Chains A and B, each alone.
Chain A
Amino acid sequence: MAGARPETNGGGADLVLRSLTKRFGDFTAVDDLDLVVGRGEFFALLGPSGCGKTTTLRMVAGLEQPTAGRILLGEQEVTGLRPHRRPVNTVFQSYALFPHLDVFENVAFGLRRRRVRDVKAQVEQMLGLVELTGFVRRRPGQLSGGQQQRVALARALINRPQVLLLDEPLGALDLKLRRQMQIELKRIQTDVGITFVHVTHDQEEAMTMADTIAVMRGGVIEQLGSPAELYEFPATTFVANFLGQSNLVPATVADPVGDSLVVDVGGERLGVPRARARAVKGRVLVGVRPEKVYVSAAGEEDTAGNCLRGGRVSDVSFTGVSTQYLVAMPWGQELMVFEQNTGARTAFAPGTAVDLHWAREHTFVLDGAQDIHAGDETYAERTAAGVASPGPASAGTVT
C-alpha cells in the first residue's frame, strides 16, 4: 500500500475510518482501512467492482456492521449506531425511491421522521436546487432516469447530513446525461458545502468531480491524492493503468546515483528525476502517459529528453480530438501515443519507422515486481476472451 495517512485540508476531519475491516466468511472485502476525509471535501473512492468501496460506504451508512475497526464522524463515534441514528444520508445506486410516494413525499421523508417544521418550504427550496420544481406530485415511476437521480439527491441532501454518501449515483444514466450530472453534482456540493463521499468505478467521473481520490483494490487503498497527483505520478501499475492509460516498459536501473536515475531499456538510456522514482534499483518499470509522447520520423529529431528509437507505427486511429498511434517497439511491445489534432502536420501511415520522444520530468519509475497489466481493463477483457495480446505479457528485462 502506497501513500501515507492523509492529512486533511484545513477544515478538520469529518469522517475518520480506523483499521476498518469487513469479512464475509473467508472473503475479506475491506482490509484494515485507514482513511480521513476533510470537512467540505468531495472525496471519491475509486476502484473496480469487488474492491470493497461499496462495502466501505455501507459501513459508514450503518447498513453493514464492520468486523473490526472504528468509524468516527467528526468527534462522534458511530461504529455501533443503527443507520437511522447516524447523521449521514445516502444516494443509492438504483436510487431506491419509494414508489408509493410522490416526489414531494420522497424528499420530505427524512424531515417527517425527524419531525422538522416547515417541511413544505424546505422541500420546495431543495427541489429548486435540483431543478425539479413542478414535479412535486409525480410518482418516481413517471420520471426519467435523470429526474429520479435528482430526486434521490434531493431526498438525501435536504437532511443536511454531516456526510453525504453517493453509491455510483450516475451509473444508470447514459453518457451525455452523466457528464451533465457530474458538473451539476459538483456545483451542488460547492453550494451546500457538505462533505461528499462518492463511490465509483468510473475514473473519469472521479477525476472530474473529486478533490481527493482514494484508489481501492482488494480491500485496501492503493493510492490517495488529488486527481492530478494520481494521474501524473501513479504509485503502482494498477493506478497507472486504471486511471487513464500508461506506457509501462520493463527496464533495469543502470545508474542509481545523482539527481537523475538512469535506466536501461534495450540498450537505450532514459533519465528520470529521482523524485519520480518509486524504485531505485534492479528491475523496474518505466512509465509515461501516451499524450506526453511526441512521435517523429526515424532519426529525424534529436531532443535532450528521453528517446526510444526503432519503432514502427502498427496502428493509427483518428478520434477527432486526437490521433492515437500504436507503435511496435523492437522488443515486441506496443506503445501508445496520443497526438492532438492541431493540424500542424499530417498523420504517420502504418508501417512508418518512427522514434518516440518525451520530457524526463514526465517519466516515472515503478517497482518492477508488479503485474504490468494490473488495472488494465481492456487487457483483462482481451485475455479473458482468449485473444493473444500483442507485446510481451510479463515484466521481464528487455535485452
Chain B
Amino acid sequence: MQTVLLPLLIPLVFIVLTLFAWNAPRLQRMLSLFGSSALLLAALSLLAQVQTGEIAVTQIGNWPAPYGITLVADLFSAIMLTITGVVAVLVAIYSLEGIDENRVAHGFYPLFFALLMGVCGAFLTGDIFNLYVWFEVMLMASFVLMALGGERAQLEGAIKYVILNLTSSALFLSATGILYSVAGTLNMADLSIRLPEVNSPGLVTTIAMLYLVAFGIKAAIFPLFFWLPASYHTPPVAVTALFSGLLTKVGVYSLVRVFTLLFLTDVAFTHTVLLVLGGFTMVVGVLGAAAQYDMRRLLSFHIVSQIGYLLMGLGLYSRAGLASTIFFMAHVIAAKAALFLVAGIIRRVSGSFDLRRVGGLYRDQPWLAILFLIPALSLAGLPPLSGFFGKLALVRAGLAQGQYAIVAVSLAVSLLTLFSMTKIWMEAFWKPIPEKAPSQNREAGYKFSLVFPALAMGLISVVLGVLAQPVYGLADQAAGVLMQPALYAAAVLGGLR
C-alpha cells in the first residue's frame, strides 16, 4: 500500500547520493540514470495498482485525515507520474552529453532530482497547503537550474522567471489563507465536502479566481504567459525540455485538480472562464510563435498555445473533455520535449538556433529532418500521430457540449501550428545554406545520448497515435474518477464520514 511514497522517496534518496558524489561527475551521471529509471518503475507500479480503480492513499506520520497530510494517487496522478518518469529518464540520457562539466560541477544533478521530487510531490499531495510547499520545492530547484551556468541571457531570463513565479506563489498562499478562513480545513478531500456547504458562494468563487490566477501564471495561460517565452529559451536544451515537459504541466494539473474537486459551486461561471481563457491562450500563443526566428523562442510560444488545448478540455467539464485533456497532456509533453531535443541537435550540427542563419539541413542530414518531422506533424495534429487523436477527442467533446466557438478556434489554431512547423521546416531544412551561416559540425550532433531521447520521444508520439484506443480508454477511466469527487473524498477520509 505504500507504493504511493516511492515517487517521492526515490528522488530524495538520489539528491542525497548525488550530493555525496559531488566531486565525482561521472558517478553523478550514472546515478541520474539509475534514479530516473527507478522513478519510472515506481510510477509504473503505482499506475498498475490504481488502474484497477483503487485510489491509493497514505497518511504521513500516521496522523488521520483531515488533520495530517495525506498523499493520494488516483489514476490521473498516476498517469502524470508515469509521464514524469519517462521525461526524467530521457532527459537524464540527453544530459549525459547535453549538460557540460561545469554545470555538473555546480550541482546540476542534485537540482534535477529536487525538481523531480517537487513535481512528484505536487502530483501526489492531497492537501492544498502541502501543494504550495511542493510548488516551492519545484520552483527553488527550477530557479537555480535556469540560472546555472551564469550566462548573461540566462540571468536575464531567470530574473523574469523568478519574479513572476514569486508573484504567483504569493497569490497562491493568500488564496489558501482565505480558503482556510472560509472552510476551516486544507485537506482537499475535506474541502470538497465542506465548500458546497459554505453559505457565501460569492466568496468561494472569488477564491477560485485567485487560484486560477496563481496556477494560471505557472501554467502560462493567457494573459499571464509572457514570462515563459522570455525565459525558457535561455538555459541548455535539456533543462528547457524538462521544464516544458513538467513545470507548466504541474500548473495545469493543479487547475484540473482544484476545478474538478473543489470549485464546483458555480460551474457555469468558473468553467466558462476557463474555456474562454483556453481559446485566447491557443490563439495568442500560436500568433506569437509566427513572429519568432529563434527556434527555442518559437517552440516556447507553442508551449503556451498547447496549454490552451489542455484548458479547453477542463473548461468543457465533461468526462469526454477531461479524458481528452489527459490524453492531450501525454501527447503534448512527448511532442514538445522531442522538438526541443531536436532543436538542441540542430544547434549542435548547424551552430545556431536562429532560423535565418541555418539552412540546407535536409540535403545534408535527412535523418535529422525525419527526427524533426515526426513530433512537428504530431504537434500540428496530422494523422496517424498522437496530436490528431488528441485534437479529435477534444473537438468531439466540444461538439457534444455544443461549444462550437472553441471548436472552431481550436481547429484554426491547428492550421496555424502546421504553418509554424512548416516555417521551421522551410527555414532550417529546405532553403539553401545562407552565406553567413556558421560552419556545420556533423559529428557534434550525432551522439547516441542525444539522438536516442529525441527519437524515443518522437516514437512515443507515434505509439500514442497507433495505440490511441487503449490510451484514451485509460484517460477516460481517469476522467471518470475525476468526475466523481465523492470517490476521492471517501478514499482519503475513509470511515470518518
Q: Do the two chains belong together in a single complex?
A: no
